[in-house]
Amino acid sequence: MTPTNSLATAPPLATPATNQDFLADVIAGLSKRARSLPCKYFYDARGSELFQKICELPEYYLTRAELQILDRYAGEMAKAVGPRISLIGLGTGAGTKTRLLLEQLQRPIAYIPVDISTEQLQRSTKLFRKIFPALEILPVCADYLEPVKLPSPSRKPGRKVVYFPGSTIGNFEPQSAGEFLRRIAKHVGIGGGLLIGVDLEKDRDVLERAYNDSAGMTAQFNLNLLARANRELGADFDLTQWRHEAVYNSAQGRIEIYLVSEIDQTVHLSGQAFDFAAGEKIITEYSYKHTLEGFTKLAATAGFEFAQMWTDDARLFGVFYFTVL
């Protein structure tokens, strides 16, 4: 991490990753014994469009639950984070949830959205500058999973607060989640805060239906990762010979999302050949589910103190607020 104002150096609205990065990551993932593809590459234009549709599906409870929480408690959240803050949004996408929060903030100094999707970031920045003309908005197109140097607002804020909506923290393995939270704590500094969405532990059937929707939208979203490798890297994945699979691993407390080879086949990429047996899997995403006690303990190891949690009526999802003391 670079000094003081950093969460990797990327100028506002720069392209965060090149095809060379994508190629290197795909080759590295397919070369492992347990094959994998990084879930951060889900979100090209097509992937972002599909994810927006997933959020509207009846089985996908996460977005509805989080929006219910924000509709009801955004005012309380604004009071908790305090006035004159610089709000740093990580992976805020279209900004629907962020807008609910910003509308309630007391005299915010700046909003700094950090997102890997250039198209979504441009759209949301344009919209927010119309809605909040007095607010300084400093967009950064970058992979926030890497250290990112952020722009400084023209006015000094009372404190920095990172807003990390959705359930993306669940994509981190526990050790990596702790390291990421430590980076955030170091960035916001003493007196700073973290407002973060967390998917809570629940019944297996509810979880597996959410990631295996009847419309097949999540399957399309997962398979788009292979389609993107074909489009951008010249790979030759035959999408008809791969299927989506999502299962809940209760021992690990996580949903595991795979692409499964239907047949014995060989995929070619950048002069290399990768052989797959029928039934062999590529892991594309883990999504850990947390308890209040477990996530609070994890955050504490990163230097955060628990302040408050808001949840929906069915206690499916939680929005946590932590501070650095």
CATH number of 1-229+291-325: 3.40.50.150
pLDDT digits (tens, 9 = 90+) for 71-110: 999 999 999 999 999 999 999 888 999 999 999 999 999 9
Q: Which residue ranges make up each domain of the chain?
A: 1-229+291-325
Q: What would the two tokens of residue 90 be?
A: 């990580």
Query: What are the residues facing 159 on neighbouring strands?
Result: 85
Task: Supply the pLDDT for residue 17.
Answer: 55
Task: Supply the pLDDT for residue 165.
Answer: 96
pLDDT digits (tens, 9 = 90+) for 300-322: 999 999 999 999 999 999 999 99
List the helix and strand counts (H, then E) for the chain.
9, 13
Task: Supply the pLDDT for residue 45.
Answer: 86
pTM of the model: 0.89
Coil, strand or helix at 162: strand
154 in Cβ contact with 136 (< 8 Å): yes
Q: Furthest-apart CA pair in the chain: how many Å?
A: 60
Coil, strand or helix at 146: coil
Provide mean pLDDT across the span 141-147: 86
The sheet with strand 281-288 has its strands ordered as 242-249, 254-261, 281-288
200 in Cβ contact with 66 (< 8 Å): no
Provide mean pLDDT across the span 26-36: 97
Provide mean pLDDT across the span 52-69: 96
d(CA 175, CA 180): 9
Assess whether pLDDT exceeds 80 at residue 176: yes
Provide mean pLDDT across the span 48-54: 92
